[in-house]
Amino acid sequence: MGILDSKIPSGPLADKWTKHKNDINLVNPANKRNIDIIVVGTGLAGGAAAATLAELGYNVKTFCYQDSPRRAHSIAAQGGINAAKNYQGDGDSNYRLFYDTIKGGDYRSREANVYRLAEVSGNIIDQCVAQGVPFAREYGGMLDNRSFGGVLVSRTFYAKGQTGQQLLLGAYAAMNRQINRGKIQSFTRHEMMDLVLVDGKARGIIARDLVSGKIERHSAHAVVLATGGYGNVFFLSTNAMGSNVMAAWRAHRKGAFFANPCFTQIHPTCIPVSGDHQSKLTLMSESLRNDGRIWVPKKMEDAVAIREGKLKPTQIAEEDRDYYLERRYPAFGNLVPRDVASRAAKERCDAGFGVNKTGEAVYLDFASAIKRYGKEKAMTSGIKDPDEATIIKLGEEVIEAKYGNLFQMYEKIVDENPYKTPMKIYPAVHYTMGGLWVDYNLQTTIPGCYCAGEANFSDHGANRLGASALMQGLADGYFVLPYTIGDYLSKDIRTGKIPTDSAAFDEAEKQVRDRMEKLMSGSGIHSVDYYHKKLGKIMWNKCGMARNAKGLEEAIKEIAELRKDFWENVKVTGTIESKNQELEKAGRVADFLELGELFAKDALQRNESCGGHFREEYQTEEGEALRDDENFKFVAAWEYVGEPKDAKLHKEDLVYENIELKTRSYK
């Protein structure tokens, strides 16, 4: 356990995946019927994996804490899914998608994994179309594409602003077919509490029925974790309230290395914070940056007047607007990668040009797009010399067809009509590129424990390009894991059922019960949310969009002190053997309080800026991220040895044989 062997196949980059599939061991159909697999998490990665593994003949158990797999956080993905099909004929290819993803991640991801992702991306679209996913289509009936940040082509397939939901319904339908066949046993409202190791191999989990409170034992020949990211360590994020790190962190405590925890993405296009009462933030899809132009006033006095409510954005003349992304990055404009756009927004707001009451917002304006589309629609509709009112009406109809549900959502939350006045947006925590370390087969450093989707670290480096999360989740679930897990399971065809009445299961269950009893024994001074909010403020202020050594050192100390206070003084009402949502939250926050410290430790040791990891000490004269390829071109994989501050660092050196490392530029 614990040796970093990435198992990357030899040979040319474009041949690695094909060669690997031909070389690895398989399990024949008759033997698959005798092998059990547990899948924890039923979002896109977990749902796709469960459905495909069951279709192949394995016996699958799925676990999710939601009341249905349909409610996985994957439904929140709005804008689209990338694939290198080159339907637009604009020069796209597998290599171009591979290159954009590596560059977008600021050269901190594995070549082999990313090329495989690009290679199977087209298959994902075919699979989902066959499932009935209603992708947008152009007038001729072909699937439509739009652009996302960090690329110069249109490769993003979409279903209005509901792409994640529609893709998840496709995976859920595939799961339901297997549930109906009896090949999947679905355990909803169940939470994984710990991973069970037998002779060093993952052989099952301890789960808690969240309705009855009952502790259950479930065995299998392999365990797949597909439980999403850990953005809620910041308390305020775009993640669902229940999103947590428990499954991954419990595996980490059992020996799975945690990789690059500080690589966290701040999304530039979120509805700004409105006050201390908030418990989550709302994402506005990056797809809006296709047509929305981002700006702040050029004049400080205009920004002040707007903040004081004395001036409306529509009263600012065009020449008095600073379209700062178009100014700073003319080649990519409003479609620069998320980390670049986020830092640029912060810089303008820090300089005093923010446009809401707190000074932490910029405008996302659709007026130009509405007029452009309106004129085009008038032309194609045979309307000659249309007046401005007609142009705006027609343009709004086009925008409504492309983004209507997003505009509706914004208006419901903010109570402003985004067709008539620009949206206000500001960066917020969104996605985590870090996660459990996995090899090319998606296996962690624990034999038999696999990790897929956002829960692993494998594909995005230091920053994820928009519309690539859905691509990775479905690639892992439909097209990677079902091949690679067979190589491990081929050694288990004679193992037989894994018993749950063993010493390993006894000990794991005891540890789970002891931990819950300890959570219940706090003095009861403060609520769970009190500690979560305090942790979130430490993380945002000292480990957020910009970090420095002093702040990170303070964060490590403060989080350790907060964690000590939490275990002594947290108030958890109710009982263990019953439905108890406070106990659920307490267990998740306890894990965040450990992860947060490791996050800060990881950020402190990485003395460079790259992607979403921006160390203030390491930046160019223009304020861009300054990488150190000589000393930090590696994956930081942390081994659990007790206290997070004592975690042991292992390095996986990143080798670039097919891409030349350059200073990342979008100008």
Print the SS3 string covering 504-562.
HHHHHHHHHHHHHHHHHCCCCCECHHHHHHHHHHHHHHHHCCCECHHHHHHHHHHHHHH
From the list 71, 293, 338, 606, the catalytic residue is 338
The single-letter code of the amino acid at 169 is L
* 80 SS3 class: coil
In this prediction, residue 179 has a pLDDT band, given cuts at 50, 70 and 90, of: very high
3, pLDDT greater than 80: no
pTM over 0.95: yes
Q: 190: burial class by Cβ within 10 Å (0-12, 13-18, 19+)? A: buried
Q: Which residues pair with 431 in a beta bridge?
A: 265
Return the minimum-mean-pLDDT range out of 205-209, 279-283, 482-486. 279-283
In this prediction, residue 110 has a pLDDT band, given cuts at 50, 70 and 90, of: very high
181 catalytic, yes or no? no
Sign (positive/negative) of CA torsion 328, 333, 334, 338?
A: negative
| Residue 428 main-chain phi, psi, to 5 deg | -150, 155
- Name all domains of the chain by residue range, CATH numbers in brackets: 267-429 (3.90.700.10)
Q: What is the mean pLDDT of the segment spanning 486-496?
A: 97
Q: H/E element holding 192?
A: strand 190-198
181, pLDDT greater than 50: yes
Average pLDDT in the chain: 96
Return the minimum-mean-pLDDT range out of 124-128, 243-247, 345-349, 622-626. 622-626
* pLDDT at residue 1, rounded to an integer: 43
The Cα-based distances of 366 to 105, 156, 274, 465 in angstroms read 29, 20, 23, 23
449-451 β-sheet, strand order: 184-187, 59-63, 36-40, 222-225, 449-451
C-alpha R_g of the chain = 25
With beta carbons less than 8 A apart as the criterion, state whether 60 and 54 touch.
yes
580, pLDDT greater than 50: yes
* 475 SS3 class: helix
265, pLDDT greater than 70: yes
Q: What is the mean pLDDT of the segment spanning 230-243?
A: 97
Sign (positive/negative) of CA torsion 285, 288, 292, 294?
A: positive
Q: What is the mean pLDDT of the segment spanning 575-603?
A: 97
272, pLDDT greater than 70: yes
Q: H/E element holding 481?
A: helix 481-489
With beta carbons less than 8 A apart as the criterion, state whether 398 and 346 touch.
no
In this prediction, residue 159 has a pLDDT band, given cuts at 50, 70 and 90, of: very high
CB-based burial, 522-560: b 16+ in 10 Å, e otherwise? beeeebbebbbbbbbebbbebbbbbbbeebbeebbebbb
pLDDT tens-digit series, residues 48-97: 999 999 999 999 999 999 999 999 999 999 999 999 999 999 999 999 99
- Residue 474 tokens read as 């479905």
The single-letter code of the amino acid at 581 is Q
Q: H/E element holding 368?
A: helix 367-380
Question: Rounded to whole angstroms, how far apart are CA atoms 297 and 308?
Answer: 14
* pLDDT at residue 92, rounded to an integer: 97
529, pLDDT greater than 80: yes
* pLDDT at residue 276, rounded to an integer: 79
Other C-beta atoms lying within 10 Å of the C-beta of residue 167: 30
In this prediction, residue 165 has a pLDDT band, given cuts at 50, 70 and 90, of: very high
In this prediction, residue 419 has a pLDDT band, given cuts at 50, 70 and 90, of: very high
